[in-house]
Amino acid sequence: MCKPRRGRAAALLACGLAVLGEVSASVGHPCPEHLFVIERSKNANIVVYDANRGPEGDISASEPVVAYWVLAGEKGKREELNAVERARAYGFDVEPGDTPGTFAMAIKADPTRRLTIRMRNDCPVVTAAIGGHEGIVHSLFVQSKEGFLIPKVEYVAFFGQDVATGEPLYEKVLVQK
């Protein structure tokens, strides 16, 4: 697991690409293991978002995405999101997209950023604008500091791959205070 706590954009980009390698290195399976993951500065636990595929391999219309925790240090330990996490931070809304076979997704923590779930080369992917380019989202990194009751998010870094060129993409979004 990459720990991008060095504070420099280059270090974050390297970590994002390392996560990309981990995500897409699924042995014996042509598609990445997950749609995308969220890593955090708070600890090494990650939130995983997976496509829910139907019997024909398409994205399930009734429940296109599932999200859960993978707990660091406890190999293979999976834990469901709790009610507060689903409602406020890591939960999401999904609805049918503008094009048949696609879905529009918004994460509760940032409902203004539009994510699109679609099939690409027979694999489910999430696409979004990353640094002004249309990209496949692979991971997000949330930098936060402890607050009075809840952590305060300082920034979110998006890591992905340009849909047209395959080049790595990175965007750091500062959170308004």
Closest by Cα among 121, 158, 129, 172 to 20: 158
Long-range contact set of residues 62-71: C-beta below 8 Å, sequence gap at least 24: 64/94, 64/103, 64/105, 64/117, 65/35, 65/92, 65/94, 65/103, 65/105, 65/117, 67/91, 67/92, 69/45, 70/37, 70/45, 70/46, 71/45
Report the share of the chain in percent with pLDDT over 90. Answer: 54
Residue 140 placed within a domain: yes
Residue 27 placed within a domain: yes
Residue 102 placed within a domain: yes
Kindly report, residue by residue over 70-107, the tens digit of the pLDDT: 998 777 789 999 998 888 889 999 999 999 999 999 99
pLDDT greater than 70 at residue 140: yes
Angstrom distances, CA of residue 151 to CA of 97, 141, 144: 33, 14, 6
The pLDDT value given to residue 110: 82
Least trusted range by pLDDT, from 30-34, 64-68, 116-120, 158-162: 30-34
Residue 83 placed within a domain: yes
Report the share of the chain in percent with pLDDT over 70. Answer: 82
Query: 156: domain range?
Result: 9-174
Residue 36 placed within a domain: yes
Beta strands in 32-177 (DSSP E): 36-40, 46-51, 65-70, 78-80, 92-96, 103-107, 110-120, 123-130, 133-145, 152-162, 168-174
Please count the structural domains in the chain. 1
The pLDDT value given to residue 19: 43
Residue 3 placed within a domain: no
Q: Are 155 and 173 in contact (CB under 8 A)?
A: yes
Residue 2 placed within a domain: no
Residue 141 placed within a domain: yes
Whether the pTM exceeds 0.85: the reply is: no
